[in-house]
Chains A and B, each alone.
Chain A
Amino acid sequence: MSFFGTPPISQRYLDTVKPAPVQQLLRRPGLGKLLLLAVAAAVIVPLLHAKFGAAWPSSLTIDVSGPLGKTSDWIIDNRDSHPLFVYFLGHLSNAVVISVRGVYLLLLALGWTGVTAGVTLIAWRVAGVRIAATALISFLVSGLLGMWVPTMQTFALMVVAVAVSVVVGALLGLAAGLSDRLFKILRPVLDTMQVLPAFAYLLPVVLVFGIGVPAALLATVIYAAPPMARLTALGLRGADPGVLEAVSSLGATGRQRLLTARLPLARKELLLGVNQTIMMALGMVVIASMIGAAGLGDRVYQALASVDVGAALAAAIPIVLLAIVMDRTTAAAGERLGADTAATGPKWLRGWQAWTGIAVVTAALALAGRLSGSLVWPGAWAVDVARPVNDFKEWMVDHLYSGIPVIGGTADWAAHFTDWVLNPLRDGLTALPWYGTLLIVAALAWLIGTWRTALTAVLAMAAIGVLGVWKPSMNTLSQVIAALAVTLVVGFGIGILAAGSKRFEAILRPVLDVMQTMPQFVYLIPVVALFAVGRAPAAAAAVVYALPAVIRITTQGLRQVDPAAMESARSLGATRWQMLRQVQLPLARPSLLLAVNQGVVMVLAVVIIGGLVGGGALGYDVVTGLATGDLALGLVAGVAIVCLGLMLDRVTQPTERRTAGKGA
């Protein structure tokens, strides 16, 4: 621990390294790779330039709009008669409608009293008193906001969507967990499912199923099943080999081993998978409303049409509350699984008695509600939040938009950000010859990983060129890099502060919860009102969305730094700043890298929302594809976003993947 407090030594050390001979330079792996790349580039680049020029060569692109257009025409013409639809997809669609309707009618029959009581009691049973109180308040608030019926519609859709996602995800995960070959095949599929923007597959899904709940449900399942599959596979693969050995030595068959040892050992991961699936499904509520999912998402979406932030917020709050209740309940249930809870709590709260009790109380309250004649929320008990929220928004905009002395208004900042950061970045990236871009990507990915990493990254970029969307992709890339940089600077800063103060972290937590679960559509109007139409509000939306994850991972990473290292540093008289810079941050490096990676994924997820506020480029293309029924435009732009994601992932995620190989 002598590497701090004595800068002269390290300085001297650096001085001796500087004039090192070439061999010594080559011994450093990074430089060797770069040199090799430079030599290769010196040979290939002039050839490429002479043959194709600096812009992506048109001879190297494929136009997919023809075949995709034909596919979409075929579907429309055969949808009502072809056996595939009549005997398979049609039934699938009917089954979805019947299931969702079943749950919805049940919820309506229970009435607001029954539903509220049931949810509260279940939360109490599996997660404890505090979370039960949260659930109770949340459902009452949804009613008070006048959103009872849409909340029940969304709830019904969520129950079915989560159930299907969990079953599908668990089956995929089971396959991947038991077979190495399937694991290898499934990984890229799951990657794509998660990174492909949901908007891009809304259109194909709508083409097949038509507007409405079946399409919305399917889109939700595609988005929400991967985490379940990943975590199931992870759980099965991570099972303690000693235990498995013991079980097989007892003569258990493969199936017995799975049911009695591997699955139970993986139950924590399974429950975490359910939890993640719920959160992802809720994230799709508003997006799915664009293809007719009804419920709360539709209310948000319709409120936006009349530019009514207040009304949008009134519908968004129940979504946030549903997410918080479901997240906390499943998370708490997961934690309890680990601990031995059988011995805690009074007896009547355990086992089948408790479940019977819940059923009885719920039925009684449902009946009471029915007798008092109010199945849906009584209309008189409603609070109008729309007006005060709109007034607040107006006030904020009036005072912040422009004309604040010295620091300027938000519109001025946005203009500076566009002029000084976004424009140079975009112009630079678009002006860079294509082979130059590929070379830089290759160099970055190779420095941080192996030649395979570099190859994947380069191929992903090349795919963008081949699809003929090089220019808009470079525009999008510039926006993503700018938003990511802001997110990381702010996120690391706040994360470091939160790691240093428990109280600050406690204040921050609910704010982050809301930021993470608030549907992105709700801040579409406020960001435009503050930052004017263009790429700046798009960046702002991305930062708001990605910030919570970055802050959380940073805080957690810094907190988990070995206390012994911290203690010894302190005993050596290091200041707080020195400790942070020289002990905490280096030791928390893996967490910080994970934060970067999550930042990339989340910023990319907001590219589409960016398209809705003037971000243009790929986001706008995806939205246009959906709005005009242009399968080729939307799908190609969506795939290009996936490729950007793949490339950014490879140039930001070093060694871990290769050495640790942590699950799917």
Chain B
Amino acid sequence: MSRKRSMIIGTAALAGTAVLSLSLSACGKADMTKQSSPFAAAKGSKSVTLSTQTWVGAQSNVAVAKYLLEKKLGYHVDTVQVDEIPAWDALSQGRVDAILEDWGHPEQEQRYVKDKKTITAGGGNGVTGHIGWYVPKYWADKHPEVKSWKNLNKFADQLKTSESGNKGQLMDGSPSYVTNDKALVKNLKLNYEVVFAGSEAAQITQIQQFAKEKKPFLTYWYEPQWLFNQVPMVEVKLPKYTDACAEKGTKDPESIDCAYPTTPLQKFFNTEFAKKGGSASAFLKNFKWTKDDQNEVSESIASGGLSADEAAKRWVEKHPEVWKKWLPKK
């Protein structure tokens, strides 16, 4: 009997706590734009929340920024891993203070930066990104003509898999990535089937597997990326990128028939954080490095087996001349 009663009491107590905490906060308006993680700043310190994206390059930015913010500026840093578009949403709401690497989201920029003004552009992070089609170097060395899209149809047979049927396989990655590959295959009349790996983890695993067996493959991929150091790849030339083609593409994505642009990667801040973020926001505004710097950190995370913190520490110790410039002047 006593156990049953204690169970009922326990449940009642829990329900009571929930109701109590609800009513405690229920005096007046609740600000949906000012909410942080319950795990943030448990030590009662100044805190910053950064968004990490799934690819390792973005994790490297965050790792180094986090390390310096914690060690040099005395902040507590939380990281949240979310997909790109939800991350914009979180930035607008103040759940996240900064995105350190954005690959271009014109629709979101229009909505949040220009219309609602809840997000402020933070300038480039110094790295230029590029999306393209890549083949492994060991294969391209044997067949140099594969490096142009015009010859791809000749190689379709070699790239067949059971997923692509009787066409060649062009592997795409995560659904969150910007891709025109289906339109490109159609408009360039290529005898290829776009197979979506579904996630970057799956795509990388498959590339590593192909490379181990020295098999040919054709994949959507991007720079900067640590995997290049492990599996050397060369780009396949697509029809030249032009502004006219891009404009046509924004009107009708189905009509795109040229290569991807090169994108200087951008930082974005929550507007309030940009204004009142103190030394943290000043530091993040100054944050700017190169592709080589980023790749150095990325590789020690992804294939060196280091934790992001350790990789950041190692880089910070080696390159004081780069990050000293980021620290806000006192």
Contacts and interface: CB of A to CB of B under 8 A. Distances in A.
B213 A292 contact: no
B89 A612 contact: no
A212 B18 contact: no
B25 A94 contact: yes
A524 B202 contact: yes
Given A626-B83, A627-B174, A104 B38 contact: yes
Contacts of B87: 211
A525 B93 contact: no
A650 interface: no
Give the one of A291, A386, A401 with max B CB within 10 A: A291
Contacts of B302: 306-308
B202 A213 contact: no
Nearest to A310: B305
A532 B161 contact: yes
A282 interface: no
A86 B175 contact: no
Interface in B142-177: 161-163, 165, 171, 174-176
Given A401-B209, A402-B213, A612-B199, A292 B89 contact: no
A314 B241 CA distance: 45
B209 A305 contact: no
A627 B81 contact: no
B30 A97 contact: no
Interface in B187-203: 195-203
B24 interface: yes
Given A290-B83, A614-B197, A86 B96 contact: no
B37 interface: yes
B175 A211 contact: no
B202 A302 contact: no
Interface string A509-531: 00000000000000011001100
A305 B59 contact: yes
Given A79-B93, A615-B198, A212 B32 contact: no
Given A524-B202, A532-B206, A211 B89 contact: yes
B175 A624 contact: yes
A62 interface: no
A164 B18 contact: yes
B176 A628 contact: yes
A80 B32 contact: yes
A163 interface: yes
B329 interface: no
Contact of A167 (B18, B21, B206): B18
B229 interface: no
Contact of A398 (B37, B174, B212): B212
A306 B54 CA distance: 8
B301 interface: yes
Nearest to A610: B198
A90 B4 CA distance: 35
Interface residues of A, number: 97
Nearest to A90: B30
Contacts of B36: 97
Contacts of A166: 11, 14
A402 B215 CA distance: 12
B110 interface: no
Contacts of A290: 81-83
B243 interface: no
A267 B22 CA distance: 29
B80 interface: yes
A99 B25 CA distance: 11
Contacts of B17: 99, 102
A358 to B, nearest CB: 12
Contact of B32 (A90, A411, A418, A612): A90
Contacts of B204: 307
A298 to B, nearest CB: 6
Contact of B163 (A76, A610, A614): A614
B196 to A, nearest CB: 6
B82 A305 contact: no
Given A301-B81, A305-B200, A264 B4 contact: yes
B235 interface: no
Contact of A210 (B4, B14, B90): B90
A25 interface: no
A85 B32 contact: yes
Contact of B202 (A390, A398, A525, A627): A525
A470 interface: no
B55 interface: yes
A153 interface: yes
B33 interface: yes
B29 interface: yes
A629 B18 contact: no
A105 interface: yes
B244 interface: no
B95 interface: yes
A167 B11 contact: yes
Given A289-B81, A402-B213, A535-B163, A99 B26 contact: no
B37 A79 contact: no
Contact of A211 (B7, B18, B25, B82): B82
Nearest to A159: B14
A614 B172 CA distance: 9
Interface string B36-73: 11110010000000001011100100000000000000
B15 A167 contact: yes
A267 B82 CA distance: 41
B223 to A, nearest CB: 17
B195 A90 contact: no
Contacts of A535: 163
A100 B11 CA distance: 16
Nearest to B28: A87
A48 to B, nearest CB: 30
Give the one of B4, B14, B38 with max A CB within 10 A: B38
B86 interface: yes
B317 interface: no
Interface string A604-623: 00000011111110011001
Given A524-B201, A533-B163, A614-B197, A627 B176 contact: yes
A91 interface: yes
A158 to B, nearest CB: 13
Contacts of A295: 39
A137 B131 CA distance: 48
Given A210-B93, A351-B2, A387-B305, A306 B59 contact: yes
B198 A620 contact: yes
A109 to B, nearest CB: 10
Contacts of A419: 162
A213 B37 contact: yes
Nearest to B163: A534
Given A528-B206, A534-B162, A305 B201 contact: yes
A95 interface: yes
Contact of A307 (B42, B52, B201): B201
B200 A629 contact: no
Interface string A94-127: 1111111110110010000000000000000000
Interface string A286-297: 000111101100
A305 B225 CA distance: 12
B101 interface: no
Contacts of B162: 414-415, 418-419, 423, 534, 536
A352 interface: yes
B35 interface: yes
A620 B196 contact: yes
B266 to A, nearest CB: 18
Contacts of A136: none
A385 interface: no
B3 interface: yes
Top 10 closest A-B pairs, CB basis? Answer: A90-B30, A627-B176, A624-B175, A101-B38, A211-B90, A629-B85, A418-B162, A534-B163, A94-B25, A95-B22
Given A104-B39, A302-B52, 4 more contacts: A97-B35, A98-B25, A206-B86, A525-B205
5 contacts: A90-B31, A98-B25, A210-B90, A387-B305, A614-B198
